[in-house]
Structure 1
Amino acid sequence: MTTSTSTSLAISPRKLRSDLYSYAYGQEDSNTPLVVNVLASLIERSMARNQRIAKNCSSLYLSRDLRTRIFDCHETPDMTIQSYLERIFRYTKAGPSVYVVAYVYIDRFCQTNPAFRINIRNVHRLLITTIMVASKYVEDMNYRNSYFARVGGLTTDDLNNLELEFLFLMGFKLHVNVSVFESYCCHLEREVSIGGGYHIERTLRCAEEIKSKRNEERRYNMQIARVML
């Protein structure tokens, strides 16, 4: 797996705040949030670490747990993590908080299933599944599974099965509160700054807070519209 060159760039905390607080939902020309680069870097480093642990033993690329082998691809996808995440954002416009929550889910999944290791064979399926589930948790409106499947390069049946198995393997523990969200932001800051040169302030807000703010803005706009009529 080729590591993205973006990992050598320093993220401006001011720019990151702008992405998180001023992200414009629905705009076709929205730039890729910087948290996408952060997640790509962290996942790539995790894969490299797991590859070293495997010690070139190809059998360890497959999960020892039969239930999690559903995430294994028969053929290795020819797309870097950075490119794959950028593709998902480009076609779904999932907000920055979705990727933080997706990372929470990935970590919970790995903790709940200790025999599972993120590698080149399962990472793409895991990412599209967790991002889709996180989008359903965070966003007010979502695309259908069939659309996410096309974006991720899967069939609808495959993604439906991945989502179902993921939920059961997670024990349906999808709630992410403020303290958990902030703790993972700190973890992203600490881990990625070590290997990627990133400097991330704790400005990523809880998905629930972002969702609440959008609802308040919509109610306010509706009130203004009624006044102007």
Structure 2
Amino acid sequence: MAISPRKLRNDVYSYTYQDDSNTPLVISVLASLIERTLARNERISRNDCGATMSRTTSSKTRVFDCNETPDMTIQSYLERIFKYTKAGPSVYVVAYVYIDRFCRSHPEFRITGRNVHRLLITTIMVASKYVEDMNYRNSYYARVGGITTKEMNSLELDFLFLMNFRMHVNVSVFESYCCHLEREVSIGGGYHIEKTLRCAEETKYRQTNDRVFNRIARITL
């Protein structure tokens, strides 16, 4: 079913942090992308030889593996995260950037049913810290994600080191991933979520300048 550009624009521009706000459309698009990746990786795993699997299991990226596959769909898991954190749409776009970077940096890593939930809660938490001015504690994200605080702290630290702390996402990169998400729903001119990130960067820039100005003013008075 086709989705109109108007609906996508409303998803961003009419987005609020009220309890009754609708789940951002970007969550459904991200869930679709991840689920297709999971299905593709499962097909590859069935055709893989033992040597490839052994290289994967010996990788440092196994930190995201859990003992049992969680009984929750990607869509439901993302909706749960949104319900309890109310992270804005741009957070999920940045989280998608991180996941893509991570997979490119570690080609031996494959998203599976055993690691996808922990990867998502980690990238969304880190992305929220990058995009949003106010955030919940790691312990809160741990409860939302269904893991312990110790695991959440460890996953965040491991992820940052595995990424070599390359967490910056400039506006042009953000826009390119928004365009990719637009193509995912087969429309043009839809998301324009980049405005959210640009406004956030401009706000932080102004706040930094204000703090510097205030310090200078105190010194000269």
TM-score category of the 2 structures, normalised to the smaller one: 0.7 to 0.9
How many Å apart are 1:28 and its aligned residue? Answer: 1.0
Amino acid at match of 1:20: V
Pick the aligned partner of 1:28 from 19, 37, 45. Answer: 19
The 1:168/1:32 distance shift into structure 2, 3 A limit, reads same
Instruction: Please list the CA deviations of residues 108-155 of structure 1 after superposition, one character each: whole Å capped at 9, or x if unmatched.
Output: 000111110001010000000000000000011000000000000000
Instruction: Please list the CA deviations of residues 155-177 of structure 1 after superposition, one character each: whole Å capped at 9, or x if unmatched.
Output: 00001000000000001011111
How many Å apart are 1:180 and its aligned residue? Answer: 0.2
* Contact preservation (8 Å) 1:71, 1:126: yes
* Contact preservation (8 Å) 2:9, 2:191: no
Pick the aligned partner of 1:17 from 5, 9, 23. Answer: 9
* Contact preservation (8 Å) 1:88, 1:152: yes
In structure 1, the residue matched to 2:76 is 83
The 1:214/1:30 distance shift into structure 2, 3 A limit, reads farther
* Contact preservation (8 Å) 2:41, 2:111: yes
- Partner SS state of residue 110, structure 2: coil
Instruction: Please list the CA deviations of residues 177-210 of structure 1 after superposition, one character each: whole Å capped at 9, or x if unmatched.
Output: 11100111122233x24xxx67662512155324
How many Å apart are 1:66 and its aligned residue? Answer: 2.8
CA distance in 1, matches of 2:166, 2:179: 21
In structure 1, the residue matched to 2:35 is 44
The alignment-based identity, stated in percent, is 69
The 1:122/1:206 distance shift into structure 2, 3 A limit, reads farther
Which of the pair has more CA radius of gyration? 2
TM score, norm. by length of structure 1: 0.81
The 1:206/1:52 distance shift into structure 2, 3 A limit, reads farther
5+ residue gaps, structure 2: 205-221
* Contact preservation (8 Å) 2:12, 2:191: no
How many Å apart are 1:20 and its aligned residue? Answer: 1.1
CA distance in 2, matches of 1:13, 1:93: 23
How many Å apart are 1:105 and its aligned residue? Answer: 0.2
Q: How many residue pairs end up in the alignment?
A: 204
CA distance in 2, matches of 1:83, 1:104: 21
